[in-house]
Amino acid sequence: AQKVTQAQTEISVVEKEDVTLDCVYETRDTTYYLFWYKQPPSGELVFLIRRNSFDEQNEISGRYSWNFQKSTSSFNFTITASQVVDSAVYFCAPSAAGNKLTFGGGTRVLVKP
Amino acid sequence: DTAVSQTPKYLVTQMGNDKSIKCEQNLGHDTMYWYKQDSKKFLKIMFSYNNKELIINETVPNRFSPKSPDKAHLNLHINSLELGDSAVYFCASSQGAGNNEKLFFGSGTQLSVL
């Protein structure tokens, strides 16, 4: 079974600061995908990024970037130059067969103006 | 047009009642899911259907019965509701059941059992 730990329950920053969210996971699968989803105050879950387990390149997409380290089973996510609209709960989730996502407990990000 | 729509948005009911939550997706996806989010925000998969066939069935009480009349619909029926069933239930869909597929979620149904 997969397990996900998001050790930070809440992070508060001032607008324009960078925010890094930690995610550590456990899986027995040799190949898998890792996801980050965002849940804004409106409640709907929104896909952000996806990473496969066989490519450890760090990537940047707009203000989002992620750092995947297979050796430490970590998949950290950074928001650069945070904005108030980034305030949300962020979930890390590895996927297993059947596209079964195991979600972490989430990290609440509060961006203050 | 809402991609994944679920109704109702709020459901308040008494213990012991039977209720249903409906979900429809207009994305042409093959795979649909039900997730439960508790009051501490923990999200857990309940069921998954691919082309109307059940492919994931987590350890969910058999009071919960999903039904997929066609690929675009996955409804959730709950019998004999209990206090512990109070949660937000999310429907989702994906193109297929591969583990690289991103999920599109509905806006959730907040179920309160009194």
Domain boundaries, chain B: 4-98
Structure tokens, B54: 């059940």
CA gap B41, B36 in Å, rounded: 9
The predicted model gives B18-34 an average pLDDT of 96
Over range A77-92, report the average pLDDT: 97
Mean pLDDT of chain B: 94
User: Are the C-beta atoms of residues A93 and A39 closer than 8 Å to each other?
Assistant: no
How many residues are given for chain B?
Answer: 114
* pLDDT over 70, % of chain A: 99
Express each pLDDT in A44-78 by its tens digit. 999 999 998 887 777 778 999 999 988 899 999 99
Q: Is the bond preceding B8 in cis, omega lying within 30 degrees of 0?
A: yes
- Give dist(CA A72, CA B29) in Å, integer: 34
| Option in A47, A91, A99 nearest B98 (CB) | A99
- pLDDT higher than threshold 70 for residue A27: yes
Specify the 3-state DSSP secondary structure of A30.
coil
Q: Does domain A3-112 have CATH number 2.60.40.10?
A: yes
Q: What is the pLDDT of residue B1?
A: 64
**Sign of the C-alpha dihedral, residues A100, A61, A59, A92?**
negative
User: What mean pLDDT do residues B79-89 have?
Assistant: 96
Q: Which residues of B touch A (CB under 8 A)?
A: 31, 40-45, 48, 50, 55-56, 88, 90, 92, 94, 96-108
pLDDT of residue A38: 97
- A interface mutation test: which of B35, B43, B95 has the most A CBs within 10 A? B43
Instruction: Give the residue from B40, B41, B58 with the most A CB atoms within 10 Å of its CB, the best one to mutate.
Output: B41
SS3 call for B79: coil
Whether A35 and chain B come into contact, CB under 8 Å, resolves to yes
**What is the pLDDT averaged over residues B13-20?**
97
- Please, which pLDDT band fits residue B94 given cuts at 50, 70 and 90? very high
Tokens of B22: 């409906």
Q: What architecture does CATH give domain B4-98?
A: Sandwich (2.60)
CB contact at 8 A, A91 and A104: yes
Q: Do A45 and B105 touch (CB under 8 A)?
A: yes
